[in-house]
Chain A
Amino acid sequence: MTARPFEARSMGTALDRVDGREKVTGRATYAVEHDADLDEAPLHAWLVTSTTASGRVLRVDAAEALAHPHVVTVLDHTNAPRLADTEDRELAVLQDDRIGFRGQIVAVVLAETSEAAREGARLVRVHQEAADASVSLDGAETYAPEEANGGFEAATDQGDFDAAWAAAPVQLEQTYSTPLEFNNPMEPHAATALWRDGSLTLWDSTQAVHGVASTLAPMLGISQDRVRVQAPYIGGGFGSKGLPHGPEMAVALAARWADGRPVKLAVTRQQMFGLTGYRTRTVSHLRIGAEPDGRITALEHAAVGQSSAVKEFVEQTAVPARMMYAASSLRTSHRVAALDVAVPSWMRAPGEMPGMFALEVAMDDLAEATGIDPIELRERNEPEVDPETGNPYNNRRLVECLHRGADLFGWQDRPAEPRATLDGDWWVGTGVASATYPASFAPGNTARIIALDGGRYEVSIGAVDLGTGSRTVLLQIAADALGVDPEAIDLALADTDLPMATVAGGSSGTSSWGTAIAQTAQQFRADHGEHPDPGVETTTTTDGYPSTDHALHSFGAVFAEARVHRLTGEVRVPRLLGVYSVGRVINPMTARSQLLGGLTMGLSAALFEDAYQDPRFGHVVTQDLASYHVAAHADVRDLQVEWLDDVDELATPMGSRGIGEIGIVGTSAAILNAASHATGVRVRDLPATPDVFSS
């Protein structure tokens, strides 16, 4: 069967976070806080990393470390347990002497205490032979990948771009760039591992318990049912915990070595800048040809990104340009350089975040070039159908978002000319940008419902709540799908012993898991009726739900006010507003948090985040939160979000679409557009730090 839409009763209400109390009282147990579940005191692991970007490990001299009274062993590529499959070089830690980037795991110290493990790591001497390394995207050789992240085509070409461009009365050709950015969730990557009787148990900080098990098991040479992964509480991930990374394999190998004794590993903040993924630097070359009235006739987005020679990652930067605006000719492409650097991965809204940054600053450039109001310009380029597929949209309400936002923000009072308002020592400006995110859906999710005594139900699915509120929202979905109160549901999550769930990523979690729960609830009622005997159960797996003949997307409009100090170039953002069309909002409280968080992260990217990867060494040297700045409280001022009344039953039976990522999309562009409006200085590279405006 396929799920059917169902009545919203709890959905749409602000049910308190069901795990709120555990979290604020410190009782929620994170990945290295499971000692109560262990029958033996764990060993502590510490990672030793390479200090050359390319080359070989000649010898790991552990003598001094082993002389430390509390150090138990030092594992390196000569003595670590062997993997059955080493194709994935990011995960094949300690399997050979090759060094693929600076900061790669080259040894693991195991000790009785965390302090001794750290000191042991300091005492390990790693003799390395350095080879020539290529670590800088600037001037690097690039290649056209086969596909981009998310399985998107790497390049597309519709209509005759060259002819349309040549004929365009208005031509805009500019380059926009975003730097290396790091996810930096509050809880660093961490895990507790226990290897016993040939099976691995992992308490992991991950966004996908089944994903970790299905990736690690074949590499470890054991069947997947011998790997159990649990992730009851996660201190954020923003995509960096969506896929397993080297540290998870390192702790699994350490546990295998320790056979029977648990091992704990917490990655340091500094190590997270080498081992747990990041947003690649992106350089977007845009060419936009338009009529004098602003209508786009030719649009080209050519994106270049940094990838790693260890493992390919292609940020799908040019993908949003394929569907965002009407253009009779449209060309997109991706190229990457395979450098001797850490492996990039997912960071909140991969593709959309840097891609829409480029496109939406370009739209402001075009507004300036044609003298058309930025909102009006976007309206004039509103497509009738999806430019990429020709399909109708499910629910494209971008223009309504722009209009509603303009009203709320007071857009009509905006001076058309830049550099028009000086308030004290601050230049003041406002800017706008569109946001979009696909309504992603991952098939293959399984949910199980068991009738309990007293009209209660146990609902189980292996989904992970990485801190977003999934536990609460899934409870609401389950309650409404079964037609009972949320209190009647016992929800079990985040364990591979539960039915299979896909990753909490791509804003697909609630949609995909929720659909599985809804489908199972409906099947359960069909199987067992309204008054089931305790003990009866139903399990179903989704293969699809969303309409296949519509283009399914969410939209939004972001408005920013920026103030730039005329003497120091300091930039402050007193007001930020996002208006979204995201389908039904299942829980206004957790949804608001997601959108506010997305806006904050977009603000952070606009003004602060900038990892400096040293071209001589190949690693990021701004590797802590004092030198890699994320927005602090004082930066986040009047932040407002609103959403349109929406129900999108083409996307999910709940009528909802995902909301985890859209808040970061377009936000940096709106802020930079506002800063340009304030100062008359156009900035096309993130971030806009004071030095950009002060000179």
Chain B
Amino acid sequence: MRELTYEVPATAEEAVAKVTGDEQARFLGGGTNLVDHLKLGVSTPKVLVDISRLPFDAVEQTDDGLRIGTNVRNSDLAAHPLVRSGWPGLSRALLAGASGQLRNQATTGGNLLQRTRCVYFQDITTPCNKREPGSGCSAIEGYGRHNALLGTSEACVATHPSDMAVALVALNATVVVLGPDGERRIPVADLHTLPGHHPEVETTLAHGELITHVELPVTTLAKRSTYYKARDRASYAFALVSAAAALSIEDGVVADVALAWGGVAHKPWRASRAEEALRGQPLEESAIASAVDEELRDAVTGPDNDYKRALLRGVTTAALSRLAPTEVSR
């Protein structure tokens, strides 16, 4: 592990100034992802700016919804009564992630900005365009079980690992970001990018921009939201694929639906085409399957990740069925 300096800024502005001014500096949240990367040599910053003590540690009710400080721990956010009642899908997504110990340590901003679990990204002895631009992608012809199928490029097929982020995308959340020139807001759906030719670029944030809050708009749809995660073991495993969903049924048809997927792309994937296909339809398993297939029209799979198509039908059906007022016909 490279030697580095560790700094504790007194204010958010100071934190932003420190990182903006130094290409070799990184924010440190709970450290559950970054510290692993330091040890593995995946990340070799010279300066760590610890933001975990900045006073962004509250969940506040606002006129339009909730405002969540970046330093709210995943476990506290999941257990928050307002989250559980107004945005249950977020609570479920958080609880589906990692383990109790990790959730106690992990922060909201850190969770959003955690990096891919692609095994080659984490193994510095193998080529990886994301870690070392231009070196090649080992995953495309390699261990492919977790590879993305939507929005991939020839440079990178990695998935974004966060469960929480998938729920936030379905729930139309926004991040509040502090930069050297002040504050701006970005929908979580636009926070992460597709790999294209530059998989080393993962978000629309500039170096040194600090996530200070996440804002959740209050809606009736969000109250009927859930999260279904398919994974190998019953807990403590990243998603093979997952679905965050919110649903309202009126007069026996889908009045409104929000759907986002995890484990399919370089970003949490809003399945807008599938949503469109479902609106106005009676909620039947066959309709859900066709809507999923519609979303997957441009999907590219190989032998190792082709199973994700069927699995997406499965998790989407499972998630929506949980929200349906009556049994979904088969």
Q: Taking beta carbons and an 8 Å cutoff, which residues of A are in contact with B?
A: 51, 115, 118-119, 122, 270, 425, 565, 567-570, 572, 607-608, 612, 614, 616-617, 619, 621-624, 626-627, 629, 631-635, 689-691, 694-695
- Tell whether, in the assembled complex, residue B143 and residue A622 are in contact, meaning their CB atoms are under 8 Å apart: yes
- Tell whether, in the assembled complex, residue B1 and residue A607 are in contact, meaning their CB atoms are under 8 Å apart: no
- Cross-chain contact of B307 among A623, A631, A694 (Cβ < 8 A): A694
Please give, as numbers and ranges, the residues of chain A lying within 8 Å of B240 by CB-CB distance: 690-691
- Tell whether, in the assembled complex, residue B230 and residue A568 are in contact, meaning their CB atoms are under 8 Å apart: yes
- Tell whether, in the assembled complex, residue B238 and residue A626 are in contact, meaning their CB atoms are under 8 Å apart: yes
Please give, as numbers and ranges, the residues of chain A lying within 8 Å of B230 by CB-CB distance: 568-570, 690, 694
Q: How far is the CA of A631 from the CA of B315 in the complex (A)?
A: 22
Please give, as numbers and ranges, the residues of chain A lying within 8 Å of B318 by CB-CB distance: 425, 565, 567-568
Closest 9 pairs between A and B when the two form their complex, measured CB to CB? A567-B314, A691-B307, A634-B235, A634-B234, A568-B314, A568-B230, A695-B310, A51-B125, A621-B119
Q: Which residue of A lies closest to B98 (CB)?
A: A626
Please give, as numbers and ranges, the residues of chain B lying within 8 Å of A626 by CB-CB distance: 117, 238
- Tell whether, in the assembled complex, residue B233 and residue A629 are in contact, meaning their CB atoms are under 8 Å apart: yes
- Tell whether, in the assembled complex, residue B2 and residue A632 are in contact, meaning their CB atoms are under 8 Å apart: no
Please give, as numbers and ranges, the residues of chain B lying within 8 Å of A624 by CB-CB distance: 122
Please give, as numbers and ranges, the residues of chain A lying within 8 Å of B40 by CB-CB distance: 270
Kindly supply a per-residue 1/0 record for chain B positions 119-144, scoring 1 wherever the CB is within 8 Å of any chain A CB and 0 otherwise: 11011011000000000001001110
Q: How far is the CA of A616 from the CA of B119 in the complex (A)?
A: 14
Q: How far is the CA of A619 from the CA of B138 in the complex (A)?
A: 13
Cβ contacts A to B, 17 pairs, < 8 Å: A51-B125, A122-B2, A569-B311, A607-B232, A607-B233, A614-B142, A619-B125, A626-B117, A632-B235, A632-B237, A634-B235, A690-B307, A691-B145, A691-B307, A694-B314, A695-B307, A695-B311
Closest CB in chain A relative to B183 CB, distance in Å:
35
- Tell whether, in the assembled complex, residue B120 and residue A621 are in contact, meaning their CB atoms are under 8 Å apart: yes
Closest CB in chain A relative to B157 CB, distance in Å:
15
Q: How far is the CA of A694 from the CA of B310 in the complex (A)?
A: 6
Known contacts A694-B314, A695-B306; A119/B233 CB under 8 A: no
Q: How far is the CA of A572 from the CA of B238 in the complex (A)?
A: 17
Q: How far is the CA of A619 from the CA of B41 in the complex (A)?
A: 18
- Tell whether, in the assembled complex, residue A622 and residue B119 are in contact, meaning their CB atoms are under 8 Å apart: yes
Closest CB in chain A relative to B47 CB, distance in Å:
16
Please give, as numbers and ranges, the residues of chain A lying within 8 Å of B41 by CB-CB distance: 122
Q: How far is the CA of A115 from the CA of B317 in the complex (A)?
A: 49
Q: How far is the CA of A118 from the CA of B41 in the complex (A)?
A: 10
Please give, as numbers and ranges, the residues of chain B lying within 8 Å of A119 by CB-CB distance: 1-3
Tell me which residues from 223 to 266 in chain B have a Cβ below 8 Å from any Cβ of chain A.
230-238, 240
- Tell whether, in the assembled complex, residue B119 and residue A569 are in contact, meaning their CB atoms are under 8 Å apart: no
Please give, as numbers and ranges, the residues of chain B lying within 8 Å of A270 by CB-CB distance: 40, 123
Most buried by A among B117, B138, B306, B310: B310
Q: Which residue of B lies closest to A632 (CB)?
A: B236
- Tell whether, in the assembled complex, residue A632 and residue B1 are in contact, meaning their CB atoms are under 8 Å apart: no
Please give, as numbers and ranges, the residues of chain B lying within 8 Å of A690 by CB-CB distance: 230-232, 240, 307, 311
Please give, as numbers and ranges, the residues of chain A lying within 8 Å of B311 by CB-CB distance: 568-569, 690-691, 694-695
Q: Which residue of A lies closest to B307 (CB)?
A: A691
Q: How far is the CA of A474 from the CA of B137 in the complex (A)?
A: 54
- Cross-chain contact of A572 among B141, B234, B317 (Cβ < 8 A): B234
Q: How far is the CA of A629 from the CA of B146 in the complex (A)?
A: 14
| B53 at the A interface (CB under 8 A) | no
Contacts A608-B233, A694-B307, A695-B306 supplied; 7 other A-B pairs, CB < 8 Å: A122-B1, A612-B145, A623-B123, A631-B233, A632-B234, A635-B234, A690-B240
Please give, as numbers and ranges, the residues of chain B lying within 8 Å of A632 by CB-CB distance: 233-237
Tell me which residues from 181 to 240 in chain B have a Cβ below 8 Å from any Cβ of chain A.
230-238, 240
| B37 at the A interface (CB under 8 A) | no
Closest CB in chain B relative to A60 CB, distance in Å:
16
Please give, as numbers and ranges, the residues of chain B lying within 8 Å of A569 by CB-CB distance: 230, 310-311, 314
Q: How far is the CA of A619 from the CA of B240 in the complex (A)?
A: 23
Q: How far is the CA of A19 from the CA of B315 in the complex (A)?
A: 47
| B84 at the A interface (CB under 8 A) | no
| B39 at the A interface (CB under 8 A) | yes
Q: How many residues of B contact A (CB 8 A)?
A: 39
Q: How far is the CA of A511 from the CA of B155 in the complex (A)?
A: 58
Closest CB in chain B relative to A555 CB, distance in Å:
30
| B273 at the A interface (CB under 8 A) | no
Please give, as numbers and ranges, the residues of chain A lying within 8 Å of B279 by CB-CB distance: none
- Tell whether, in the assembled complex, residue B232 and residue A629 are in contact, meaning their CB atoms are under 8 Å apart: yes
- Tell whether, in the assembled complex, residue B317 and residue A617 are in contact, meaning their CB atoms are under 8 Å apart: no
- Tell whether, in the assembled complex, residue B315 and residue A627 are in contact, meaning their CB atoms are under 8 Å apart: no
Tell me which residues from 1 to 56 in chain B have a Cβ below 8 Å from any Cβ of chain A.
1-3, 39-41
Q: How far is the CA of A570 from the CA of B313 in the complex (A)?
A: 14
Q: How far is the CA of A632 from the CA of B314 in the complex (A)?
A: 23
Q: Which residue of A lies closest to B142 (CB)?
A: A614
Closest CB in chain B relative to A608 CB, distance in Å:
6
Q: How far is the CA of A627 from the CA of B259 in the complex (A)?
A: 27
Please give, as numbers and ranges, the residues of chain B lying within 8 Å of A627 by CB-CB distance: 117, 119
Q: Which residue of A lies closest to B2 (CB)?
A: A119
Closest CB in chain B relative to A481 CB, distance in Å:
44
Q: How far is the CA of A174 from the CA of B272 in the complex (A)?
A: 46
Q: How far is the CA of A616 from the CA of B314 in the complex (A)?
A: 33
- Tell whether, in the assembled complex, residue A621 and residue B234 are in contact, meaning their CB atoms are under 8 Å apart: no
Most buried by B among A51, A627, A635: A627
Known contacts A567-B315, A608-B232, A632-B233; A616/B307 CB under 8 A: no
Q: How far is the CA of A629 from the CA of B238 in the complex (A)?
A: 10
Q: How far is the CA of A570 from the CA of B96 in the complex (A)?
A: 15
Q: How far is the CA of A623 from the CA of B3 in the complex (A)?
A: 25
Closest CB in chain B relative to A656 CB, distance in Å:
34
Please give, as numbers and ranges, the residues of chain B lying within 8 Å of A617 by CB-CB distance: 125-126, 138
- Tell whether, in the assembled complex, residue A633 and residue B235 are in contact, meaning their CB atoms are under 8 Å apart: yes
Closest CB in chain B relative to A554 CB, distance in Å:
29
- Tell whether, in the assembled complex, residue B123 and residue A621 are in contact, meaning their CB atoms are under 8 Å apart: yes
Q: How far is the CA of A124 from the CA of B143 in the complex (A)?
A: 28
Q: How far is the CA of A394 from the CA of B313 in the complex (A)?
A: 55
Known contacts A626-B117, A631-B233, A632-B236; A568/B145 CB under 8 A: no
- Cross-chain contact of B1 among A118, A623, A689 (Cβ < 8 A): A118
Tell me which residues from 289 to 322 in chain B have a Cβ below 8 Å from any Cβ of chain A.
306-307, 309-311, 313-315, 317-318, 321
Q: How far is the CA of A5 from the CA of B292 in the complex (A)?
A: 69
Q: Which residue of B lies closest to A123 (CB)?
A: B2
Please give, as numbers and ranges, the residues of chain A lying within 8 Å of B122 by CB-CB distance: 624
Closest CB in chain B relative to A605 CB, distance in Å:
13
Please give, as numbers and ranges, the residues of chain B lying within 8 Å of A621 by CB-CB distance: 119-120, 123, 126, 142-143
Please give, as numbers and ranges, the residues of chain B lying within 8 Å of A572 by CB-CB distance: 234
Please give, as numbers and ranges, the residues of chain B lying within 8 Å of A425 by CB-CB distance: 318, 321
Closest CB in chain A relative to B312 CB, distance in Å:
9
Closest CB in chain A relative to B20 CB, distance in Å:
27
Q: How far is the CA of A425 from the CA of B317 in the complex (A)?
A: 11
- Cross-chain contact of B39 among A118, A612, A631, A694 (Cβ < 8 A): A118
Closest CB in chain A relative to B135 CB, distance in Å:
13
Please give, as numbers and ranges, the residues of chain B lying within 8 Å of A570 by CB-CB distance: 230-231
Q: How far is the CA of A689 from the CA of B122 in the complex (A)?
A: 23
- Tell whether, in the assembled complex, residue A568 and residue B143 are in contact, meaning their CB atoms are under 8 Å apart: no
Please give, as numbers and ranges, the residues of chain B lying within 8 Å of A608 by CB-CB distance: 232-233
Most buried by B among A115, A567, A622: A567
- Cross-chain contact of B233 among A115, A122, A634 (Cβ < 8 A): A634
Known contacts A51-B125, A425-B318; A115/B1 CB under 8 A: yes
Closest CB in chain A relative to B7 CB, distance in Å:
19
Closest CB in chain A relative to B111 CB, distance in Å:
15
Please give, as numbers and ranges, the residues of chain A lying within 8 Å of B306 by CB-CB distance: 695
Please give, as numbers and ranges, the residues of chain A lying within 8 Å of B142 by CB-CB distance: 614, 616, 621
- Cross-chain contact of A567 among B123, B232, B317 (Cβ < 8 A): B317
Q: How far is the CA of A632 from the CA of B230 in the complex (A)?
A: 15
Please give, as numbers and ranges, the residues of chain A lying within 8 Å of B2 by CB-CB distance: 119, 122
Q: How far is the CA of A689 from the CA of B146 in the complex (A)?
A: 13
Please give, as numbers and ranges, the residues of chain A lying within 8 Å of B3 by CB-CB distance: 115, 119
Please give, as numbers and ranges, the residues of chain A lying within 8 Å of B234 by CB-CB distance: 572, 632, 634-635
Q: Which residue of A lies closest to B235 (CB)?
A: A634
